[in-house]
């Protein structure tokens, strides 16, 4: 009975959060196939600790941690890293049709930001975590998160400007 209830709660939570989870994963890695694999693994791990996670509050923080750790593990594997970086250029953006040109530009610019800074930007602003929460999740200091945020925003602005220059040059 308890398990059925847990399953039902878990399904409901996934239903409400799957789109956001997939988007976060995609913004982290820039590849839909990998993003969906990461989210699938994340959900498995989340369910294995569902009772504990739910009793300690909102599962989102735990999920962000698993997702980030799984992606970090993936990047540490040289063969897989090579595949995913190749896919960022070729397939992922073609399969990502964003609704507005403005968002499309932003996604492309975000994917051009160095990985560490991009992760911080996504966690801070897309996932709306505080500096302390982000530092805790990434196991680093608050000062480092602040500097990564600043550098990330600068890199993002540069990437957007480069896109803008390229599109003006094309015209």
Burial string for 33-65 (b: 16+ CB within 10 Å, else e) reads ebbeebbebbbebbbeebeebbeeeebbebbbb
Residues 97 and 27: beta-carbon distance below 8 Å: no
90 binds other proteins (CB under 8 A): yes
- Closer CB to other proteins, 91 or 132, in the complex: 91
Of the candidates 61, 126, 140, 142, which one interacts with other proteins according to CB under 8 A? Answer: 126
Q: How many CB atoms lie within 10 A of CB 135?
A: 20
121 binds other proteins (CB under 8 A): yes
Q: At 10, list the tokens.
A: 């878990």
What phi and psi, each to the nearest 5 degrees, are found at residue 130? Answer: -80, 170
- Closer CB to other proteins, 105 or 136, in the complex: 105
Residues 23 and 63: beta-carbon distance below 8 Å: no
Site string for other proteins, 91-120 (x = CB under 8 A): x--xxxxxxx-xx--xx--x----------
Of the candidates 122, 135, 138, 145, which one interacts with other proteins according to CB under 8 A? Answer: 122
Q: Which residues bind other proteins (CB under 8 A)?
A: 7, 10-11, 14, 18-19, 22-23, 26-27, 32-34, 36-37, 39-41, 43-50, 83, 90-91, 94-100, 102-103, 106-107, 110, 121-122, 125-126, 128, 153, 156-157, 160-161, 164-165
């Amino acid at each position: 009975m308890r398990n059925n209830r847990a399953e039902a709660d878990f399904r409901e939570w996934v239903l409400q959060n799957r789109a956001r989870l997939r988007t976060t994963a995609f913004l982290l890695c820039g590849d839909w196939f990998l993003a969906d694999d990461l989210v699938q693994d994340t959900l498995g791990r989340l369910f294995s600790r569902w009772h504990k996670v739910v009793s300690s509050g909102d599962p989102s923080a735990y999920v962000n941690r698993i997702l980030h750790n799984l992606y970090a593990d993936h990047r540490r594997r040289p063969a897989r890293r090579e595949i995913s970086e190749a896919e960022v250029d070729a397939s992922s953006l073609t399969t990502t049709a964003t609704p507005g040109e403005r968002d499309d530009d932003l996604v492309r610019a975000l994917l051009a930001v160095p990985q560490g800074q991009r992760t911080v930007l996504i966690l801070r602003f897309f996932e709306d975590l505080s500096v302390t929460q982000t530092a805790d999740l990434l196991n680093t200091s608050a000062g480092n998160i602040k500097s990564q945020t600043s550098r990330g925003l600068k890199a993002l602005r540069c990437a957007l400007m480069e896109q803008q220059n390229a599109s003006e040059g094309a015209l």
